[in-house]
């Protein structure tokens, strides 16, 4: 069964600290994985996309990793800011056949950054 699991469910950190969010998936065949950020009261916005051949990709203070062998991805946030408080959602795309283009959503990690 194609699934996406995220951990932790919620996380509280102090401003300036680093944190890492995890995403494990069983989606097969795999096409790509995106991390979305959803601010309170807003729609999700894509932060980064990881394809099969990519191990690491950075977008400012956000660094995503992908291990396609173990089917795990992480999102590392460096020097957190208050504006990083949001829900982070992992979305995996399937590749072929009847699942072509099908998207599988994780339940998100709610990050709260305290001053």
- C-beta of residue 59 within 8 angstroms of C-beta of residue 49: no
Place of tokens 């690491």: 56
CA distances, 17 to each of 14, 39, 43, 75 (Å): 6, 19, 26, 14
Query: 111 is written with which tokens?
Result: 């990050």
Whether 114 and 26 have beta carbons less than 8 Å apart is answered as: no
Q: List the one residue from 23, 50, 66, 94 that touches another protein (CB under 8 A).
A: 94
CA distance 107 to 31: 20
Stretch that binds another protein, among 18-26, 37-45, 67-75, 77-85 (CB under 8 A): 37-45
Q: How far is the CB of 79 from another protein (least distance, A)?
A: 25
Residue nearer to another protein on the CB measure, 78 or 99: 99
- The least CB distance from residue 56 to another protein, in Å, is 19
11 makes contact with another protein (CB under 8 A): no
Q: Would you tell me which residues interact with another protein (CB under 8 A)?
A: 31-32, 34, 36, 38, 41-46, 49, 51, 87, 89, 91, 93-95, 100-101, 103, 105, 107-108, 110
């Amino acid at each position: 069964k194609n699934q996406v699991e995220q951990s932790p469910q919620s996380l509280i950190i102090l401003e300036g600290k680093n944190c890492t969010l995890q995403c494990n998936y069983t989606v097969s065949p795999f096409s790509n994985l995106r991390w979305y950020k959803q601010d309170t009261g807003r729609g999700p916005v894509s932060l980064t996309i990881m394809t099969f051949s990519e191990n690491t990709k950075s977008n400012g203070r956000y660094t995503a990793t992908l291990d396609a062998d173990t089917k795990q991805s992480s999102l590392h946030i460096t020097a957190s800011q208050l504006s990083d408080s949001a829900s982070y959602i992992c979305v995996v795309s399937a590749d072929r056949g009847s699942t072509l283009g099908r998207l599988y959503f994780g339940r998100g990690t709610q990050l709260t950054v305290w001053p």
